[in-house]
């Protein structure tokens, strides 16, 4: 009881003191001071889609590459392909309507100002806001290059910042749910003409959530096994599986297989045995288009080991595979996955 009385007395004294020293809510609480102009400027660093807030400055692709390798590649890879579970920054073109969309600067982001603002505000990880304005321009230019938006001689500045549209800018629109969807949900529900029964017409492709029936199980067990065709010789399944894992380093720029599309790099279907620079609809560098190379296992192996050294002037940004085993595996995977 004694402790309770003491605590009650302390609370009462604190409340009385607060009433005596603190002004009314309308006048404030007597804390702090107005922020200085310099303090407001230190926080007010956001960049708007129309370029408002951009500082004067510039940076080119090659300077951006050097900075990106030094400051960003530990998490995002040398070419925006990502390391581990860090975000992928390049590629993913045409994947937004697929079952596993890859949302990158080039495939998804609607505004270049978001790139500049985020790099400036939050990167590099653990040392945010350490980059100069010119360095941010250069890194942003390199990210544009990785996403096939500009050539390697491009220089980004506050003057040309709005001249190059983002690839997916048209994929965004103003939120119209209050005028389009809300009236539909507010209307009286239709309770006539309903289907008499329900049947499964499609099955989940990513998650195995469609319930199986006894008929499904019986049909699966009844499927006859097919004998291997000795004439259909090719890479071993183990080598192909290993190559599929290695190909993840390439997938930020290249697609292969059914439904593949050109992205930062060309489609690789049928690449083994194809002349270089032949993927339809892709803008190759003059060096690649005029090289006369035919991609067989030997030329692919040399190229994959050192893309820039093997063919000077090509736009392949990847530094190369260091392991002969990885090279052999990824070529085997491309043979199988890209077969016509």
Total Cβ atoms within 10 A of residue 287: 15
pLDDT score recorded for residue 36? 94
pLDDT score recorded for residue 39? 92
Total Cβ atoms within 10 A of residue 143: 28
Residue with tokens 């809510």: 25
Which tokens is 234 given? Answer: 């090719």
Which tokens is 52 given? Answer: 């408002």
Between the ranges 59-63, 188-192, 217-221, 328-332, where is the mean pLDDT highest? 59-63
Indicate the pTM of the whole model: 0.54
User: Given a cut of 60, is residue 322 above it in pLDDT?
Assistant: yes
Higher pLDDT: 143 or 340? It is 143
Q: What is the mean pLDDT of residues 56-74?
A: 95
Q: What is the mean pLDDT of residues 310-317?
A: 78
pLDDT score recorded for residue 223? 52
Note whether 158 and 55 are within 8 A (CB). yes
Higher pLDDT: 239 or 10? It is 239
Q: What is the mean pLDDT of residues 39-52?
A: 91
Q: What is the mean pLDDT of residues 319-331?
A: 86
Q: pLDDT tier at 114 (50, 70, 90 boundaries)?
A: very high
Of 29-33, 161-165, 241-245, 328-332, minimum mean pLDDT range: 29-33
pLDDT score recorded for residue 230? 42
Note whether 140 and 64 are within 8 A (CB). yes
Between the ranges 191-200, 202-211, 230-239, where is the mean pLDDT highest? 191-200
Q: pLDDT tier at 207 (50, 70, 90 boundaries)?
A: low
User: Given a cut of 50, is residue 2 above it in pLDDT?
Assistant: no
118-164 confidence digits (pLDDT tens)? 999 999 999 999 999 999 999 999 999 999 999 999 999 999 999 99
What is the number of residues in the chain? 340
Total Cβ atoms within 10 A of residue 306: 13
Tell me the β-bridge partners of 58: 157
Note whether 308 and 314 are within 8 A (CB). yes
Higher pLDDT: 248 or 230? It is 248
pLDDT score recorded for residue 112? 97
pLDDT score recorded for residue 27? 67
Q: Please give the domain boundaries of the chain with CATH numbers for all domains.
A: 58-171 (1.10.760.10), 237-337 (1.10.760.10)
Q: pLDDT tier at 4 (50, 70, 90 boundaries)?
A: very low
pLDDT score recorded for residue 50? 94
Give the residue from 318, 293, 295, 292 showing the smallest Cα distance to 305: 318
Q: What is the mean pLDDT of residues 28-54?
A: 89
Q: What is the mean pLDDT of residues 199-211?
A: 66
**Cis peptide bond upstream of 124, omega within 30:** yes
Note whether 273 and 293 are within 8 A (CB). no
Of 69-83, 124-138, 211-225, 249-263, minimum mean pLDDT range: 211-225
Give the residue from 272, 246, 234 showing the smallest Cα distance to 329: 246
pLDDT score recorded for residue 49? 94
Q: pLDDT tier at 232 (50, 70, 90 boundaries)?
A: low
Which tokens is 167 given? Answer: 């690839």
Q: pLDDT tier at 65 (50, 70, 90 boundaries)?
A: very high
Between the ranges 29-38, 114-123, 279-288, where is the mean pLDDT highest? 114-123
Rounded Cα gap, residues 204 and 99, in angstroms: 10
Output the 3-class SS for the chain: CHHHHHHHHHHHHHHHHHHHHCCCHHHCCCCCCCCCHHHHHHHCCCCCCCCCCCCCCEEEHHHHHHHHHHHCHHHHCCCCCCCCCCCCCCCCCCCCCCCCCCCCCCCCCCCHHHHHHHHHHHCCCCCCCCCCHHHHHHHHHHHHHHCCCCCCCCEEECCCCCCCCCCCHHHCCCCCCCCCHHHHHHCCCCCCCCCCCCCCCCCCCCCCCCCCCHHHHHHHHHCCCCCCCCCCCCCCHHHHHHHHHHHHHCCCCCCCCCCCCCCCCCCCCCCCCCECCCCCCCCCCHHHHCCCCECCHHHHHHHHHCHHHHCCCCCCCCCCCCCHHHHHHHHHHHHHHCCC
Q: What is the mean pLDDT of the chain?
A: 83
Q: pLDDT tier at 97 (50, 70, 90 boundaries)?
A: confident
């Amino acid at each position: 009881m004694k402790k309770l009385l003491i605590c009650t007395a302390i609370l009462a004294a604190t409340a009385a003191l607060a009433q005596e020293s603190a002004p009314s809510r309308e006048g404030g609480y007597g804390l702090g001071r107005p922020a200085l102009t310099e303090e407001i400027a230190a926080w007010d660093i956001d960049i708007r889609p129309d370029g408002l807030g951009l500082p004067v400055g510039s940076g080119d692709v090659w300077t951006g590459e050097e900075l990106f390798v030094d400051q960003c590649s530990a998490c995002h890879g040398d070419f925006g392909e990502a390391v581990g579970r860090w975000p992928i920054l390049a590629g993913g073109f045409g994947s937004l309507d697929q079952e596993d969309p890859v949302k990158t600067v080039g495939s998804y982001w609607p505004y270049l100002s978001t790139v500049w603002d985020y790099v400036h505000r939050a990167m590099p990880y653990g040392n945010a806001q350490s980059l100069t304005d010119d360095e941010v321009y250069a890194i942003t230019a390199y990210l544009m290059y990785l996403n096939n938006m500009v050539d390697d001689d491009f220089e980004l500045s506050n003057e040309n910042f709005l001249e190059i549209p983002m690839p997916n800018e048209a994929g965004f629109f103003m939120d119209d749910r209050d005028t389009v969807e809300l009236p539909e949900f507010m209307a009286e529900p239709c309770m006539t003409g309903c289907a008499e029964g329900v049947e499964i017409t499609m099955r989940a492709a990513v998650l195995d959530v469609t319930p199986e029936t006894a008929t499904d199980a019986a049909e699966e067990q009844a499927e006859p096994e097919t004998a291997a065709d000795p004439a259909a010789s090719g890479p071993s399944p183990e080598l192909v599986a290993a190559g599929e894992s290695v190909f993840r380093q390439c997938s930020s720029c290249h697609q292969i297989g059914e439904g593949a599309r050109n992205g930062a790099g060309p489609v690789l279907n049928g690449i083994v045995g194809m002349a270089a620079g032949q993927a339809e609809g892709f803008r190759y560098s003059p060096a690649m288009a005029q090289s006369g190379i035919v991609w067989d296992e030997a030329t692919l192996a040399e190229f994959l080991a050192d893309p820039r050294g093997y063919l000077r002037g090509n736009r392949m940004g990847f530094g190369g595979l260091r392991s002969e085993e990885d090279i052999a595996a990824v070529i085997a995977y491309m043979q199988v996955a890209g077969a016509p």
